[in-house]
Amino acid sequence: MAAVPQALRLPSHGRMPISQIPIFSMLRTRMQWHQERQHLLAENVANANTPEFKPRDLAPPDPNTMRPGGGGALAVARTSPLHLAGVSGGGGEFRTKAHNGFEVRPTGNAVNLEDEMLKVAANQMDYQAATALYSRGLGLIKTALGRR
């Protein structure tokens, strides 16, 4: 019989918190990212008339650098010297994404309200999809435990 990896072993008391189930951890991280992105996009819209203001956005979290149960980077195994070296990520904070090619008004402001509102709508739909997946996953666990 194959050994169970340490990350998937149950604690000694026989209960595993939902935060240690990889899919729930990743969905929670994704929802937090959408919340932070919504805050930044709202800031961009609020500063649409501020001179010299440059809009900001968040880089999407990289699922390859997330560990079940927390942030941090995974070690990348290279099976061949011809493979590209992996990039290790930071520890749980989201990075802002650099923008190139702004349309800048004479006041120096680079916020395009139409683009920002499209981003807000897409962010909201993605957040709703993540929360729906999270809720359905919890429902599946409740069904499996017979607690519907």
12-67 per-position pLDDT tens digit: 556 777 778 888 989 999 999 999 999 999 999 999 999 988 999 998 887 666 55
Label residue 114 by pLDDT band (50, 70, 90).
very high
- Amino acid present at 70: G
How many whole angstroms separate alpha carbon 15 and alpha carbon 12? Answer: 8
Which sign, positive or negative, has the C-alpha torsion 106, 109, 113, 118?
Answer: positive
pLDDT, position 20: 80
pLDDT, position 14: 62
pLDDT, position 108: 80
pLDDT, position 145: 84
pLDDT, position 9: 55
Contact (Cβ atoms closer than 8 angstroms) between residue 69 and residue 7:
yes
Q: How far out from the chain centre does Cα 144 lie?
A: 28
CA count, 13 A, side-chain hemisphere, 140: 9
Please give the residue that has the higher pLDDT: either 116 or 101: 116
Q: For residue range 58-110, what is the model confidence (pLDDT) as tens digits?
A: 988 876 665 544 444 444 455 666 655 443 333 345 666 655 555 777 788 88
Rank 5-9, 97-101, 131-135 by mean pLDDT and report only the highest: 131-135
User: How large is the average pLDDT for residues 131-141?
Assistant: 93
